[in-house]
Structure 1
């Protein structure tokens, strides 16, 4: 499914003022609200069964010691609620929010939950690439006085395409950076040129962002900003760096099974299709 296009999620929604996001609250006044399902996914699914719903479009569940998975939905193309995943990770210097929301509403809900339910200082938020499902929570971070960070390439692309712009993590220019409790890694181009992964070594949790597809995904999804030729080698680099994974979290959908292996299958199939034409 080619759903999360830059045109649909970044350009059309953010062409006016950068801080005015595609708010599900304002755009979903039709059928989704009327039938009582506002915010529930219309495609794919939440990351885990039984997640706690903390806002109309945000869910949270503990995944491992000091790690929580968030799922949040955005109103996509004026026709469906589409789910995305993030993380909350606790470290010695406080909490790190990975991809904290699709928009300011969901970002604020995640921040409030982290502060009041998990507890402690929020040290930073990190976006794993420049699309709105990753940087949409940046305005909420800014409003709360929380550093909003991303790789230098993500910052440059966010600026170029008009999505919410984080501050650069200079060390990530080398491809690897340790930030608080997590390691950030740029394995190579795939979903986008700037897609990074997040590794929490104590629990062996890998967050692959949108480079990784859930086992319920039937293709690589939106490749408008992607690199199909490099996708397979980038996944191989990710597997080689983190062979001992206990949990692997894709950018959208369930954490069940092995999203990395499934993504490799999808990438190989996409490559074969390209060269069969």
Structure 2
């Protein structure tokens, strides 16, 4: 075998080992995701991303988008649970609350809808009916009153720090984007940002529903988040897979895409 052939053979073995390693890593990640995913029913699941911090993923089908998923947060501390954005109807939120109570041994006491759309507050009537309190941005409360929607009980302006059990989180309004009232939720201890529909998943090449969008503010709003929270490690969009801080720049790029 010539020197050139030996070189190609060695490179081939290296590439094969590299691909095998990547395959093993992918399989391990898939197994971890499967182990950390709690399947409540065919349309609802929880994904554990940090101690006591879950993404709730709900599925719904409509004529416009077909079957699609929406993300929200369940944050559990000391037997209490906080829900950021609800599934889109009372049936799904009832299933979620029941599971949290029976399997995770926590009571849902607070809801935070991120903006006025159905994929944020569709389940709020049920949460109010079981005694949970709610808080949203002032713009969300005003829009809900104007449109005759369920109205969150409390409101805040641009920033609200909350102590929840032994942990803290921040509700932040940086400006319009997907909707005029969209807020984000920051978990500083976990370095997790719930961006909601303001932030687009890396798997998407468009901005989704822009019926209520404030297009001229969207990019600058996300840029403000980049400046204010440079330590972000994990980002959760309103729809699609979670990612890292590069999702912010991805969203900005989409707002300038021709």
TM-score above 0.5: yes
Which position in structure 2 is the counterpart of 1:259? 247
Superposed displacement of residue 53, structure 1? 2.0
What secondary structure is seen at the aligned counterpart in 2 of 1:122? strand
- 1:200 maps to 2:187: yes
State the structure with more CA Rg: 2
| Contact 2:79–2:106 (CA under 8 A) maintained in structure 1 | no
The change in CA–CA distance for 1:69 and 1:210 in structure 2 (over 3 A counts) is: same
Cα distance between partner residues in 2 of 1:165 and 1:81 = 28
Moved more, 96-105 or 125-134: 96-105
| Contact 1:190–1:231 (CA under 8 A) maintained in structure 2 | yes
- Runs of 5+ consecutive residues of structure 2 not aligned to the other structure: 1-31
Cα distance between partner residues in 2 of 1:115 and 1:187 = 34
Structure 1 residues 2-81: aligned runs within 5 Å = 50=34, 51-77=37-63, 80-81=66-67
What secondary structure is seen at the aligned counterpart in 2 of 1:107? helix
Superposed displacement of residue 133, structure 1? 0.6
- 1:228 maps to 2:215: yes
Cα distance between partner residues in 2 of 1:141 and 1:259 = 31
Superposed displacement of residue 100, structure 1? 2.1
Size of the aligned set, in residue pairs, is 220
Which position in structure 1 is the counterpart of 2:84? 98
> Per-residue displacement from partner, 1:33-80 (whole Å, max 9, x unpaired)?
xxxxxxxxxxxxxxx953322023111011111211111122223761
Report the RMSD for the aligned CA atoms in angstroms: 1.9
Which position in structure 1 is the counterpart of 2:133? 147
Q: TM-score, normalised by structure 2?
A: 0.79
Which of 153, 160, 181 is the equivalent residue of 1:167? 153
- 1:243 maps to 2:243: no
- Runs of 5+ consecutive residues of structure 1 not aligned to the other structure: 1-47
Cα distance between partner residues in 2 of 1:82 and 1:265 = 23
Cα distance between partner residues in 1 of 2:57 and 2:222 = 23
Cα distance between partner residues in 2 of 1:148 and 1:229 = 30
Q: Which has the higher contact order (CA 8 A, sep 6+)?
A: 1
Write out the 4+ residue segments of structure 1 that deviate beyond 6 Å after TM superposition. Answer: none
> Per-residue displacement from partner, 1:90-116 (whole Å, max 9, x unpaired)?
245822111121110111122112222
